[in-house]
Amino acid sequence: AQSVTQLGSHVSVSEGALVLLRCNYSSSVPPYLFWYVQYPNQGLQLLLKYTTGATLVKGINGFEAEFKKSETSFHLTKPSAHMSDAAEYFCAVTAPDSSASKIIFGSGTRLSIRP
């Protein structure tokens, strides 16, 4: 069985500050991990994903995440926040032998950016 926990339902940072959104997973098999972003009144958009290989994954819009097996974490970071980053972010997990649609989403973290 797999699960995802996102720490903090709401995170607020100043424009230009570091963005850190936390995600911890539980999986009985090596997981595939994803971060999605959802802007108001829109669907989800894939930011980045980890399947195998390099543990530091770079995504779109300057975001990156590092898979840390020892900590069962996949935290999302961005060095400098921009106003356009305000959105809801979802961490998600699937198993390598599972279809993409059987993805388990976290409860989401709403990111606010202060001017």
Partner 1 sequence: KAGVTQTPRYLIKTRGQQVTLSCSPISGHRSVSWYQQTPGQGLQFLFEYFSETQRNKGNFPGRFSGRQFSNSRSEMNVSTLELGDSALYLCASSLANGPGDEQFFGPGTRLTVL
List contacts with partner 1 (CB under 8 A): 32, 36, 41-46, 49, 51, 90, 94-103, 105-108
Least distance from C-beta 72 to partner 1, angstroms? 19
Which residue, 48 or 81, is less far from partner 1 as judged by CB?
48
Residue 88's CB is within 10 A of a number of other CB atoms, namely: 17
Which residue, 11 or 92, is less far from partner 1 as judged by CB?
92
At 41 the three-state DSSP class reads coil
Which residue, 18 or 60, is less far from partner 1 as judged by CB?
60
Give the C-alpha separation, 63 to 75, whole Å.
Answer: 10
- Residue (of 88, 40, 38, 81) closest to 61 by Cα position: 81
